Structure 1
Amino acid sequence: MNNGIESIFKSYLEPKEVYRGGKNIPASNKKIYKLSSNENPLGASPKAVIALKKAAEILNVYPDQTDIRLREALVADFNTQLVADQFICGNSGSEIIDMLLRAFIKEGDEVIYSNPCFLPYSVFSRWYGAVQVDVPLLESDYSLDVEGIIRSITPKTKIIFLTSPNNPTGTYVPKPVLEDFLNRIPKNIVVVFDEVYRHFADAKDYVSALPFVKEGHNIIAINSFSKTYGLAGQRIGYCYSTATIANYIRQIHKPFLLPITSIEAAIGALSDSLFIENTVKTVREGRKYLSEAFTSLGIKFWHTQGNFFIVEPPIPEFDFTDKLMAEGIMVRPVSQFGAPGKVRITIGTQEANEALVNALKKIKPHTF
């Protein structure tokens, strides 16, 4: 029976594309290398695991009412360049994105992003009735179309999403480009700068949002514990900004938001400098190895500053991923991210990377 409830549904929440995460490893008797979700190739920080196990002994107790202990640990991790009030923590970087949109967007406001990019920028914006403005990355090298974004700004523009390194392309926004961009946009616009892969970047002109936050720009940097620290399963992230912006956002931060296991694991992970160093070393060495292998095999790829590559196989992307899966390698098509015909491949351990290259060599006669 139709009771008329549909009349109060918001029109902009009609069924459309939704974000779907990467698949888990299927049940199989053979070895499967999961290179599809940009997870940490070394597992989780041992110090985080120890802290999590200890926290599991007191699951009957409510967690911290606020995130202050984790924010203080982040202050130390940032060498006291920021204060605790400039950090906000949440259940993953995705929830931080949602929180920022709730804080700044009302129906009819405009949000700018640049495909190919992380799908929640557009999906979550739609939840709040935002007008979505896609200014695609420049097709030749997936660099940011700065002039295109500037031209697209209107009085209704509230948020501009930038990502560096960008998922799924691995490209980044050089420091001079970001500096020039921030100085040119209107002062009432918030730039949400997604830097969850920042630890892996080694380009000389790579920059995080930190210096621009310190200068007082309206920029919010999103970070996650899922990549470098290996805590994807704990769903914990954070952002930092000016004290003015952070204190405004904190007004919608729920009490008891973070599970005690996530709080303790994150604090433990921040102290695990050896694990962080080994993770970054593994990714950068794997990046060099795979760059050389892709070049040798004649596979078109884009140079990356992340822990993944985007490649363009010479056959339809789903055929390509199916052939690799048959060889025990999971990779991810990224048409959903705005990159049709492309596939994203996570950098793994050396064993996994070699297995990938061997699989590519095996299917090459039939595809390249």
Structure 2
Amino acid sequence: MTKVLVRPEMAGFKPYSPGLSIDEIKKRYGLPRVIKMASNENPLGTSPVVQERLKNMSPMAFRYAQAGSPALTERLAAHLGVPASCVVAGNGSDEIIDLLLRVVARPGVDNVVAFSPCFSIYDVQSRLCGVEFRQAKLNADFSFPFDQLVSLTDENTALVFVTNPDNPSGHACPAADLVALASRLPARTLLVVDEAYIDFAEPLDVFSMLPHLDAIPNLVVLRTFSKMHGLAGLRLGYGVMPEWLADLLLRVKLPFSVNILAEQAGLAALEDDIFVSQTLRVVSEGRRLLERELSALGCKVWPSQANFLMFEPPMDARVLFEALLALGVIIRPLGSYGMPEKLRVSIGNEEENLEFLTKTAEVLRGHDRHS
């Protein structure tokens, strides 16, 4: 009966596979303490300024938020140096991805192009919209094969997605390469650059596409408050795009998708420069430490411009992943990305990084003894 009631293509969907939670692992292994370095969350947690704002604003939770989040939109525009009419806030940048697909792509006619592997939501939402999803395989070093990407486009390509820095590799290309890509795309194709991790790229102005918005009429830039600002649990992101497109998205966007506390948290986060600079320092130092020490343990580590590292251990990756779980450390296996031999670890705080390294060394030593 269920199959009769839903669209036939629903049979091909699988649920999103998130990282394991701390409570799950505590319960499974009877552990009093577990550290999570699997979901690229902020190693410092949430800004004290944001926490204070949320506490003060919580009595207002009975009120509807203002449709379109104008206060946040204007503050973001001032912060980024772009017109407010070009900014659309959403329930995470995921909502903006979904809206772009539904507003721009014609079901049964258009296609969407991205790299492989990529953020699964590009694929899921494209297919849910009845739009063909095409992928170009990343180069062996995880750099972007732009010629291959362009070769998959045609006059019915609605959107091209590029995540920069990329997940799960951490690879980032200079903005100049994406500017060149934009000029090679078909006339009606939007280039959507997902900059979820851009705040961690060094130097930022070499990698970000925001300064090129005026010069590229088919450019959309996605950003999130989940990583740098530590608001993953509140779901807040935004897109910066041509004014005509922002207007269309706001016409069909669910009016209260950004809740009143998320908007206030976003406003407070933009005020806390100290938290941002501390996060940058901790991630930058932690990234160097983990890269150096994992390499010393015999792992192959890929260079990263994000707040995580991808590595290949000198043993079965799944065995290492499971052994670390039993020791109370959650990292991310990459089987769902088609890379079962690799793992991804988020940069933690100093204590978490050292605990991860100590326990990884312990598992690897045990493996060496038994092999």
Q: Normalized against structure 1, the TM-score is what?
A: 0.94
Q: How far apart in 2 are the matches of 1:343 and 1:125?
A: 27
Q: How far apart in 2 are the matches of 1:163 and 1:187?
A: 21
Letter matched to residue 23 of structure 1: L
Letter matched to residue 353 of structure 2: N
Q: Aligned pair 1:38/2:59, yes or no?
A: no
Q: Aligned pair 1:72/2:69, yes or no?
A: no
SS at match of 2:65: coil
Structure 1, residues 101-127: CA drift from partner, whole Å, max 9, x if none?
A: 111122232111112221111111111
User: Pairwise mapping of residues 196-235 of structure 1 onto structure 2 (< 5 A)?
Assistant: 196-203=196-203, 206-235=206-235
Q: Aligned pair 1:57/2:56, yes or no?
A: no
Q: How far apart in 2 are the matches of 1:255 and 1:176?
A: 36
Is 1:118–1:337's contact at 8 Å kept on the other side of the alignment?
A: no
Q: Aligned pair 1:125/2:92, yes or no?
A: no
Give 1:236 shift: 0.9
Give 1:340 shift: 3.1
Letter matched to residue 230 of structure 1: G
Q: How far apart in 1 are the matches of 2:316 and 2:94?
A: 30
Q: Aligned pair 1:182/2:182, yes or no?
A: yes
Give 1:155 shift: 2.1
SS at match of 2:213: helix
Residue in structure 2 matching 1:16, options 1, 13, 25: 13
Letter matched to residue 125 of structure 1: S
Aligned to 1:114: 115
Give 1:188 shift: 0.8
Letter matched to residue 13 of structure 2: K
Q: How far apart in 2 are the matches of 1:156 and 1:259?
A: 35
Give 1:257 shift: 2.4
Give 1:205 shift: 7.4
SS at match of 1:88: strand
Q: How far apart in 1 are the matches of 2:190 and 2:102?
A: 13
Structure 1, residues 126-166: CA drift from partner, whole Å, max 9, x if none?
A: 11111111101112x10111010111112221111101111
SS at match of 1:305: coil
Q: How far apart in 1 are the matches of 2:107 and 2:315?
A: 42
Aligned to 1:316: 316
Give 1:203 shift: 4.6
Give 1:8 shift: 5.6
Letter matched to residue 178 of structure 1: L
Q: Normalized against structure 2, the TM-score is what?
A: 0.93
Give 1:204 shift: 7.4
Q: How far apart in 2 are the matches of 1:229 and 1:75?
A: 17
Letter matched to residue 133 of structure 1: R
Report % sequence identity.
31
Aligned to 2:237: 237
Give 1:214 shift: 1.8
SS at match of 1:233: helix
Distance 1:338 1:117, change over 3 A: farther
Q: How far apart in 2 are the matches of 1:263 and 1:163?
A: 25
Distance 1:8 1:328, change over 3 A: closer
Is 2:157–2:186's contact at 8 Å kept on the other side of the alignment?
A: no
Is 1:13–1:126's contact at 8 Å kept on the other side of the alignment?
A: no
Give 1:97 shift: 1.2
Q: How far apart in 1 are the matches of 2:51 and 2:220?
A: 29
Letter matched to residue 8 of structure 2: S
Distance 1:367 1:106, change over 3 A: farther
Q: How far apart in 2 are the matches of 1:204 and 1:277?
A: 13
Is 1:70–1:267's contact at 8 Å kept on the other side of the alignment?
A: yes
SS at match of 1:135: strand
Aligned to 2:269: 269
Name whichever structure is richer in helix by fraction: 2
Q: How far apart in 1 are the matches of 2:340 and 2:225?
A: 29
